[in-house]
Every structure is written in C-alpha cells, then in structure tokens.
Structure 1
C-alpha cells in the first residue's frame, strides 16, 4: 500500500508539473532601446504572440485571450505557426483568429507549419476574412504624428521552394532585400525564423520579431535550450534579445508544441515589448 501511495503521489506530481510547464502562460516584459526609433514611437507597446500550434488554452482560447488582453498593448504581432501540421485543428485555429481580432490591431506572418498544412487555403481564407492584417507578402506603415515605421512581413522560408533545397534561403534573402531597399524610415520585420539573424543584420534592419525555436523545448541551467528546429542541438537563438550590428532580434518561446508534445522548464510565453529611443 505504501509503495502504491508513493507511486500515485509521484504521478500526480508529474502530471501537475507537465501541466504547469505546458499550459500555464507566462508574460515576459522587455524594453528595447533603439538608436533610430522615431521619437513619436518611444513608449509604444507590442504584444508578441507566436507558435500557437492550435494548442488548447481553455474553451475558445479563453485563458490565452485574457492574457493577451491584459497586456493592453498598442499593437499585436503574431509571428507564425497558428496551426500545427501534424495535429491540425482548423476549428480551434479559426476560433482563436476570431477572438484575437477583437483585441485590437493585429499583424500576422506565416510560419513553416502553414505551408505544410493540407488545408492551408481554408486557414488563409479565415485570416483574410478577419480584421487581422496578413503582411506575409506585403508591408505596412505605422504612423504616429508625422513620423512612421516601415513594417515588413515575410512568408516563412519554405514558401519559396522545396524544403530540401538550400537555394530557398537565397531566394528568401533576395525577396527580403527587395522589400527593404529604398526604405529610409525605421525598419521593423516580422519573420518566423530567428536563426536568419545574419541575413537580417546584413540588410540593416532595426528590429526583428521571431519565434519558431519553442525556447529550445527543454531548458536547463547554463545550457538553456536543448533543441530547436533548423538550429539543432544546443541552439543559439531560443529566447530573449540578440544584437548584430544595428539589428536587434527579439525571440518568443511561443505557446504550443509540435513534433515533441511537451516542454520542460519552458512555460508558454507571450511578450510585452516596449520600444524606447536610446537617448531617453
């Protein structure tokens, strides 16, 4: 009986730990100082949401929506993988889209799971029918007073060719370069993949929002993230802010999971980013 009680207690504790690690959303707050940020935008707040993977966060995504709403951000950025191609739940994704659009101004770009999802057109139509601004193939301009920010959106790399062909990274770069060239104002990019920081920095982008790495899935002290897609073991870009040249990259750990269904010491995350002009 004692052994059974210990076994039961262990399993209850393990179940509770896994639930906390995968369903209790944490809010991370970041202040990013930028030399070239227009003064009118200093103090602007952004809710950064990424890698939903049609995860369950309460009926009609209620817990997640409540968390995002609590940030009271000026704008919401979603950086890809709104669905999971291995365990797709289109109804849940569409419900999340309907709830998210009610929270304010939302800008969205695709992740790698969208392109591999068999019913991608239905998902794309749902986004198109909403108030969410899909800038995956376009750009936008954010304006305050007489100043502006050039907001660039990119489809995920795999939208540009076969995922086994390394040439698609060159195609991606050229597409991004076309969007950046001739833009003199502050340039902010939404792009799913953080491991392409070298490309972003070479184009002198000011700030990039990414996800994709899932925080390294398992996080341990010192080593931190253990594995991330397209970075492999001991990935470099998993969470936080990175800088190369004039370019800063902010990476979300995201919300859901994909190939491996659990996170460890790596709770789902949404981020509130506050932009500051460096001189202030």
Structure 2
C-alpha cells in the first residue's frame, strides 16, 4: 500500500509539472536597434505571437489574451500555425482571432499546419470576415506620425506545392525576392514575417532587417547546455529554436510559440509571447 501511495504521488507530481510547463505563459522582451527605424517608431512595440495550435489558455483563451493586452503594444504579429491539423478546433481558433483583433491591429501569415488543414477554406473565410489582416505574399507599410516601416508576410513553403516537390523552396524564394525588392528602393526598415526559422540562410540574403519566425516550438524539450532537443525540419539538436540570431545585417527573432503538435508536452520550455521594442540607432 505504501508503494502504491508513493507511485500515485509521483504520477500526480509529474502530471502537475507537465501541466504547468504547458500552461504557465511567459513574456520574452527584446529590443531591436537599427539606423533605419524612423524617429516616430522609436519605442514602437511588436507583440509577436506564434504557433497557437489550438492550445487551451482558459475559456476563449482569456489568460493568453489578458497577457497580450497587458503588454500595451502597438501591433500584434502572428506567424502561423493558428490551427493544429491533428487536433483541429476551428471555433477556438476563431475566438482567439477575434480576441486579438479587439486588443490591437493584428497581422497574420500561414504556417505549415494551415497548408494541411482539411478545413482551411473555412478558417480562411473566418479570417477574411475578421479584423485580422492576412499578409498573403505581400508587403505593406505600417504608418506612424507621418513615417512608415515595411511589413512583409509570406505563406509557408507548403503553400507553394506539396512537401515532396523538389521545387517548392525555389518557388518560395522567387516569391520572397519579388515581394521585398521594393525595400531596396526606399531603404525603409523592413520586417519579414515567415514561419520557418531554419531558412535564415535564405532570409539574410534579402533586403530585410528583422525576420519573425516560430515553428520550432523552442526545441520542445530544453536542457542546460544542449538547449532544444528537437525541432520540425531541423531534427535533433536544432540550431534555430528561440531568441535572436544575427547575420549579414539581418536579425532573426524566434518565438518558442504557445501550443504543441505531434509531441504533446513541453519540458523546461514554457509557452511564450515575444515583445519586441524598436529603437532608433543614432
């Protein structure tokens, strides 16, 4: 009987630990400094949200939305996987979309899960009918006090063809080049929203200053020294799972995301939203 009680206690403790790892939200605050950031955008706050995957954060995502609102940002940028194709819950995703747009202007790009979601037409219809702006392979300007910065968004590569198609990434790159070429002409600070961080070697060849990505889920399980253990499309011991990476004048900022997919738990890897403050470099 004693051993059964001990075993039960271990199971309860493990369940509580895993639940808290999955549901205790954190905020990662980052600062990006650049000479091309206009004076009027000095202090501008981007609330970066990624990989919702239908995660439960209270009824109608109230705990998550309360945390987003508390950041007092200027805009919400959602970098894909708002749905999970294996555990679809269209209603929860739609409630989350509505909740974000009631807080701030919200811009969105697709992730790989949208590409394989059977009810994607219904979700796309819900997005069109909402206040959330889907950046469908296009670049727009965010304006503030007479100045502007560029905001570009590209669909996940699987929207350019089946994952086994060897020309998918070639078409993806061609679209990206076409989309951001105007950034060369006006020399404006340019943000690119693109779901996959492992394509950083491609992004850094483009005229973009800041790339926002997700997809890697922080490596799912994070341990000291080795950090993230596994990420989709990067495999074991992935390089790009969180934080900031810089190369060739381009900064990549990765969100560890909110939900899970194939692997149902996070370990030492709390769900996060990222708040990025833009600062002008004098």
TM over 0.5: yes
Match in the other structure for 1:235: 238
Match in the other structure for 1:252: 255
Match in the other structure for 2:97: 97
- Other structure's SS at 1:202 match: coil
Match in the other structure for 1:69: 69
Q: Map Cα deviations across residues 201-226 of structure 1 (whole Å, 9 max, x no partner).
A: 10131001110000000100011001
Question: How far apart are the structure 2 equivalents of 1:46 and 1:102?
Answer: 16
Question: How far apart are the structure 1 equivalents of 2:201 and 2:37?
Answer: 21
CA drift at 1:173: 0.7
Match in the other structure for 1:195: 198
Size of the alignment, in residue pairs?
279
Match in the other structure for 2:34: 34
Alignment of 1:148-227 (within 5 A): 148-183=148-183, 184=186, 185-227=188-230
CA drift at 1:96: 1.1
CA drift at 1:166: 2.9
- Other structure's SS at 1:158 match: helix
Residue 130, structure 1, aligned to residue 127, structure 2: no
Please list every run of 5 or more consecutive structure 2 residues that lacks an aligned counterpart in the other structure.
none
Question: How far apart are the structure 1 equivalents of 2:72 and 2:35?
Answer: 25
Question: How far apart are the structure 2 equivalents of 1:115 and 1:75?
Answer: 25
- TM-score, normalised to structure 2's length? 0.96
CA RMSD of aligned residues (A): 1.0
CA drift at 1:182: 2.6
Assess if the C-alpha contact under 8 Å between 2:137 and 2:175 holds in 1: no
Question: How far apart are the structure 1 equivalents of 2:59 and 2:146?
Answer: 42
Please list every run of 5 or more consecutive structure 1 residues that lacks an aligned counterpart in the other structure.
none
CA drift at 1:196: 0.9
Match in the other structure for 1:267: 270
CA drift at 1:165: 2.0
Q: Map Cα deviations across residues 161-205 of structure 1 (whole Å, 9 max, x no partner).
A: 110123211111110100111322221101101111111110131
> Bigger CA drift: 72-81 or 138-147?
138-147
Question: How far apart are the structure 2 equivalents of 1:68 and 1:144?
Answer: 21
Match in the other structure for 1:111: 111
Q: Map Cα deviations across residues 205-264 of structure 1 (whole Å, 9 max, x no partner).
A: 100111000000010001100110111111110000000111001000000000111111
Alignment of 1:73-84 (within 5 A): 73-84=73-84
